Amino acid sequence: MIYSTSSRLAKRLLIAALVMGLVGSAPVLAQESPPGEDDFPQPVAIPADDPGGGVTNREAAVLLAAAMGIPDAIWQGLFSDVAENSQDADTIEAVTLAGVVKGKLDGTFRPDEVITRGEFAVLLDRALFHDRFPADPAPFTDIPEDAAYAKAVNGLYADGVVLGCSDDGLRFCGEDPLARHDAESLIERALAVPYAVADCEDPDEWLLFCEVYEHIDSMYLPGATVEELAAPVNEAAALAMEEAAESAAERPRFDCSIPDPVFEPLCAWASGAADTPLRSLAETAVREMVKALDPNSAYHDPEEWMEIEDQGRYVGIGVRVVTVDDEWNPFCTPLSETCRIIILDVFEGGPAYNAGLMPWDFIVGVDGNRLHGLTLGEAADLIRGEVDTSVDITFERDGDEYTFTLIRKEIVTPYTSAEVHNTESVAYIQLNSFAASPGGAPEELVGRLAEVGDVELLILDLRNNPGGRVSVLQEIAGFFVGEVPVMTFHTIDETYDVDGIGQPLLAADTPRIAVLVNQNSASAAEVLAGLLKETRGAVVIGETTYMKNTGQSLLDLHNKGVFRLTTLKWTTPGGIDIGETGVPLDIETEFPTVPLQDLMEWVKDLLDNPPEEAPEETPTETPEMPTETPEQ
């Protein structure tokens, strides 16, 4: 019999004897010839109870513990027939606590009972390929559909671990005892599989990737198939593997948790990128997967999100920026020739304003260095610095580049500005964003409305306002209309109204309101313009707006990053959907470039003397086009 001892050396020798296949021959589980004498260093022979017999449950537990690297556990008496002082009791309990061994229904383990090939396939699959996706049926004709080991065998066959017990490969012999050299072949082949593909039940290093996928799958309003989401990830994987050096080190065997088997090229990518941490690859996969979503969805790592949140007060040059690609889609990353930083606002009195930078300038360099390869947060760190230090900003305007030296100052982001006309009864309030921060837009707007007092005309300027938080919109809308529906949300599951917050600060019928908009008035700015048009009879003046009729949820992630995901579509309470045409304009016009006082007079004159609508043209008969192009 195998010697019963607690000696670690003896246990290693036992494992060596089992793994190296010292005895016996039987139907091969993987059609692998037993190793010859020269294949391995010769271990010390350890007698077995039955050298010609099969592997027992106890021996299988020892084998799997060695393959998985599971340390012995403190005996807890998990099985009625495994006493504390019995052979390998600590190992049996360790693999049980690891979820590999389940025992029998009567609470026994039966350590000396020979394990069948089917039973060992289940244990091996559970040990090294846990949480795997269901595989296609293996071609074996002797496995009943309801066999307890069918799923495990199918998976192991798909991974090339089992090949059958007959020459034609059509029989598995699942009820036969497991021979020792078959156990060796199974474990060797299983450990040779470079990674174990698993679902997202226990994602570990892949948590970020699985987390973002789950949000998309359950909340993304436009909807996307798993194939659409996997396409950019798999393309990036193929490119990375093509560019990888042939001598690149392979990663030791690892678990690859993915939401669907179609993402498996990501696992192959990870296998050949041993120098890149799995968490980093998971984040790269997230950025690739998000490319399959609409332009308003984006992943922000912790640094990027901190940069967005900290725009209220900082030391810098006084601009509000965003990244856009060459099709003007926001939130692209990293920076490149086709993903650039564009200035949305230049804050009056700040270093950039005093130097002459303007909205729609592109920032392309800092202190003589191009920004390619950086995130927005990393570029912002270069622009910011200590108070009264200098920074060289290279920017592009109308295709030409310029470099200005600016002196950094403490910047407090203005959310609003206001002015009352010197002579006319006209007030002007500019609302720059619906960002959420202490002392932000709602608090400022209360003061601005108090400043303007009783006037006949209130001009609300929403030009270049990119929108912001729904909660901020609710507060600001409440100042004008009170606790009435502000917008209607349509999510993947339901439709519901969102109301304004608080009591109105303006009378119901005065003052008249004019809302100024342009092509960069987006999202919450479009909601407010449409709402005031419907409920207060506001006159909307300007250009076709951005036409953003979707809303994004900001989803906190475990790594302190934020996932901005399109989860809803909105309409005004009256049913206006601005997704195709923008906010309906009452007066379509371009704006003059004049001082603010003159702009206020211009708006008042425009309202007092609105342009006549162009008469509809009388249709004329269209001449028939020639069927051939005449020679030039």
Query: What is the rounded distance in angstroms from the CA atom of residue 208 to the CA atom of residue 212?
Result: 6
With respect to residue 1, please indicate whether it lies within any of the assigned structural domains: no
Give the model's pLDDT for residue 434: 86
Residue 624 scores a pLDDT above 60: no
Q: Give residue 163's pLDDT band: very low, low, confident or very high (50, 70, 90).
A: confident
Q: Give residue 630's pLDDT band: very low, low, confident or very high (50, 70, 90).
A: very low
Residue 25 scores a pLDDT above 90: no
With respect to residue 575, please indicate whether it lies within any of the assigned structural domains: yes
Q: Give residue 39's pLDDT band: very low, low, confident or very high (50, 70, 90).
A: very low
Here the CATH number for the domain that contains residue 376 is: 2.30.42.10
Give the model's pLDDT for residue 368: 96
Give the model's pLDDT for residue 250: 85
Same domain as 123, residue 46: yes
Query: What is the rounded distance in angstroms from the CA atom of residue 291 to the CA atom of residue 259?
Result: 17
- Which residue has 């001892």 as its token pair? 5
With respect to residue 319, please indicate whether it lies within any of the assigned structural domains: yes
DSSP for 556-596, written as a single string: E-TTS-EEEEEEEEEE-TT---TTTT-SPPSEE-PPP---H
With respect to residue 318, please indicate whether it lies within any of the assigned structural domains: yes
Residue 21 scores a pLDDT above 50: no
* Helical axes 226-243 vs 278-290, angle rounded to 10°: 130
Same domain as 146, residue 285: no
With respect to residue 533, please indicate whether it lies within any of the assigned structural domains: yes
Give the model's pLDDT for residue 448: 81
Same domain as 443, residue 398: no
Same domain as 40, residue 157: yes
The DSSP symbol for 246 reads T
Q: Give residue 308's pLDDT band: very low, low, confident or very high (50, 70, 90).
A: confident
Residue 347 burial (CB count, 10 A): 19
With respect to residue 620, please indicate whether it lies within any of the assigned structural domains: no
Query: For residue 526, what are the contacts with CB-CB under 8 A and spacing of at least 6?
Result: 467, 517, 545, 546, 547, 548, 549, 578, 582, 583
Query: Could you tell me if 186 and 40 are in contact, meaning their C-beta atoms sit under 8 angstroms apart?
Result: no
Over residues 502-527, the pLDDT tens digits come to 888 888 777 899 999 998 899 999 99
Query: For residue 623, what are the contacts with CB-CB under 8 A and spacing of at least 6?
Result: none
How would you classify the pairing of strands 339-346 and 195-198? unpaired
Over residues 171-227, the pLDDT tens digits come to 999 999 999 889 988 999 999 999 999 999 999 999 999 999 999 999 999 999 999
Query: What is the rounded distance in angstroms from the CA atom of residue 335 to the CA atom of residue 394?
Result: 15
The DSSP symbol for 85 reads T
- Which residue has 């106890």 as its token pair? 58
Residue 319 tokens, joined: 């601009």
Over residues 223-268, the pLDDT tens digits come to 999 999 999 999 999 999 988 876 677 899 999 999 999 999 999 9
If you average pLDDT over every residue of the chain, what do you get? 85
Total number of domains in the chain: 4
Q: Give residue 6's pLDDT band: very low, low, confident or very high (50, 70, 90).
A: very low
Give the model's pLDDT for residue 417: 66
The torsion angles phi and psi of 208, rounded to 5 degrees, stand at -60, -45
Boundary residue ending a domain (368, 396, 412)? 412
Query: What is the rounded distance in angstroms from the CA atom of residue 95 to the CA atom of residue 101?
Result: 6
Helix (H, G, I), strand (E, B) or coil at 439: coil
Same domain as 446, residue 328: no
Helix (H, G, I), strand (E, B) or coil at 516: strand
Residue 415 scores a pLDDT above 80: no
DSSP for 450-508, written as a single string: HHH-S-SEEEEE-TT---B-HHHHHHHHHHHH-SSEEEEEEESS-EEEEE--S--SS-S
Boundary residue ending a domain (385, 412, 439)? 412
With respect to residue 240, please indicate whether it lies within any of the assigned structural domains: yes
Q: Give residue 47's pLDDT band: very low, low, confident or very high (50, 70, 90).
A: very low
Same domain as 574, residue 475: yes
Determine the average pLDDT of the residues in 417-433: 79
Lowest mean pLDDT among 24-33, 352-361, 570-579: 24-33
Same domain as 420, residue 392: no
Percent of the chain scoring above 90 in pLDDT: 63
Residue 618 scores a pLDDT above 80: no
Same domain as 570, residue 465: yes
Query: What is the rounded distance in angstroms from the CA atom of residue 245 to the CA atom of residue 134?
Result: 33
Same domain as 261, residue 204: yes
Same domain as 551, residue 534: yes
Query: What is the rounded distance in angstroms from the CA atom of residue 23 to the CA atom of residue 251?
Result: 33
Residue 72 scores a pLDDT above 80: yes
Determine the average pLDDT of the residues in 61-65: 95
Question: What are the C-alpha distances in Å from 558 to residues 156, 351, 469, 490?
Answer: 33, 37, 22, 27
Same domain as 323, residue 429: no
* Helical axes 117-128 vs 57-68, angle rounded to 10°: 20
Largest CA distance in the chain: 109
Residue 42 burial (CB count, 10 A): 10
Helix (H, G, I), strand (E, B) or coil at 159: coil
Give the model's pLDDT for residue 12: 32
Boundary residue ending a domain (159, 175, 193)? 193
With respect to residue 614, please indicate whether it lies within any of the assigned structural domains: no
Over residues 358-405, the pLDDT tens digits come to 988 999 999 999 999 999 889 998 999 999 999 999 999 999 999 999
Give the model's pLDDT for residue 22: 28
Over residues 457-504, the pLDDT tens digits come to 999 999 988 888 899 899 999 999 999 999 999 999 999 999 999 888
- Which residue has 């609105």 as its token pair? 610
Give the model's pLDDT for residue 372: 96
Residue 274 burial (CB count, 10 A): 13
DSSP for 105-154, written as a single string: TTS---TTSBPBHHHHHHHHHHHHSTTPPPPPPPS-SS--TT-TTHHHHH
Residue 622 scores a pLDDT above 60: no
How would you classify the pairing of strands 539-542 and 512-517? parallel
Residue 310 scores a pLDDT above 60: yes
Here the CATH number for the domain that contains residue 430 is: 3.90.226.10
Same domain as 428, residue 406: no
Give the model's pLDDT for residue 43: 30
Over residues 541-550, the pLDDT tens digits come to 999 999 999 9
Lowest mean pLDDT among 224-233, 432-441, 453-462, 553-562: 432-441
Residue 620 scores a pLDDT above 50: no
Question: 474-500 b/e with 16+ CB inside 10 Å = b?
Answer: bbbbbbbbbeebbbbbbeeeeeeebeb
The DSSP symbol for 294 reads -
Tell me which residue range forms the domain holding 236.
198-293
Over residues 564-588, the pLDDT tens digits come to 999 999 988 888 888 889 999 999 9
Over residues 597-609, the pLDDT tens digits come to 899 999 999 999 9
Give the model's pLDDT for residue 613: 64
pTM of the predicted model over 0.75: no
